[in-house]
Structure 1
């Protein structure tokens, strides 16, 4: 899952990047409104954390322009303001959630998880697909009840596919949602991670759909 953080406070920006990275997200950052608007308008994010009080372009204006351009990713607004009118303005502009500063990082992470789940059609914090279960609160994956040890990129790939189970996910889409903007992206590495995952879970849980990409199977063939 890929997150954009648009926050001009450098310390808070760094804290958000660290917490989100530790939680298994790929994180891009911007420190002013113009850069944040550009990234959100040109890159595919699973969620955006957007400060209202930004230099060069304020968060409400950014959000309004994204929504006019039919950018549908969930957006959580951050602001030091605590007036009800600011909350109404933000929600009317198209925000999905609103957090007033100061806030507890665990609360923000819970709101991020909830918005990502809802955007992909999941109501519960645990997502199941065949023998696999993803606990989004703990970033823990089990197969037939046994925890699977995954690297950060293996986890991101499998978590993204589980959030979008039931449909084919292309290599390009996986690359766009697994890596930060400045990462040296190579779609061939997706095949490497798929191969590694198939050694850790039943091999036919991840189906290859020739010419299109990959899909998680709800009913893999039973193992001998």
Structure 2
């Protein structure tokens, strides 16, 4: 990714030619290195060559949707920043965007100053990272890289699965309720069923171990096993 003496590189994926050009000029004026694509498929194909720090991604694309593009990009680079830019403003669309791997969400029409502020905030967040894993027996969780190893092998988790596991790791000394998990992982504005937590707990059990997460009757869930410690 970008070095400390070079401005970050931003990829724009937007089929509206006028808007794409306006955003491109605004970012170039702010000093960013900018590349832009009309096609989501082309953007994915060129992603490794471009190696951007941040992707501004429209959802309504002519050849595919932004959700799928986000998933493909996230597979290519777990740590790239993704800012969804779309005319869709309903809560379910935002939740789908975050589930696809988006880091932030901006609804059209938007103010250029807000766009720049969101970009700066995301880039600042990227540089505040934890370089050492949190260990749990043979489980290793890298918060900054969104990577998990279990029994020496990398385990592929979705963004939500990772956030859930990370929350359980950070609250390893106590049982956490479904409500706490929903607030922390899905957000306080989530109005879906609390059964969602149970579904994702089962996903983690299948991918890691059936016994790694204990159901504490009347309370919620707790990560169990060997003593957790940060690897120094």
- What's the TM-score, normalizing by structure 2? 0.50
Is the contact between residue 74 and residue 80 of structure 2 (CA under 8 Å) also seen in structure 1? no
Is the contact between residue 41 and residue 71 of structure 1 (CA under 8 Å) also seen in structure 2? no
Specify which of 53, 66, 69 is matched with residue 59 of structure 1: 66
Structure possessing the higher radius of gyration over alpha carbons: 2
Is the contact between residue 85 and residue 105 of structure 2 (CA under 8 Å) also seen in structure 1? yes
Matches within 5 A, 1:1-224: 1-121=8-128
- What's the TM-score, normalizing by structure 1? 0.52
Is the contact between residue 64 and residue 94 of structure 1 (CA under 8 Å) also seen in structure 2? yes
Secondary structure at 1:103's aligned position in 2? coil
Structure 1 runs not aligned, ≥5 long: 123-224
Compared with structure 1, are the counterparts of its residues 104 and 7 closer, same or farther at alpha carbon in structure 2 (3 Å cutoff)?
same
Structure 1 residue runs of 4 or more that deviate by more than 4 Å after TM superposition: none
Secondary structure at 1:63's aligned position in 2? helix
Q: 2:47 & 2:77 partners in 1: Cα distance?
A: 11
Residues 38-69 of structure 1, C-alpha deviations (whole Å, 9 max, x = no match): 22244311111000000112110011122233
Which gives a bigger RCO, structure 1 or 2 (Cα 8 Å, sep 6+)? 1
Q: 1:42 & 1:52 partners in 2: Cα distance?
A: 22
Q: How many residues are aligned here? A: 122
Deviates more, 1:107-116 or 1:61-70: 61-70
Residues 43-100 of structure 1, C-alpha deviations (whole Å, 9 max, x = no match): 3111110000001121100111222334421000011111110000000111000001
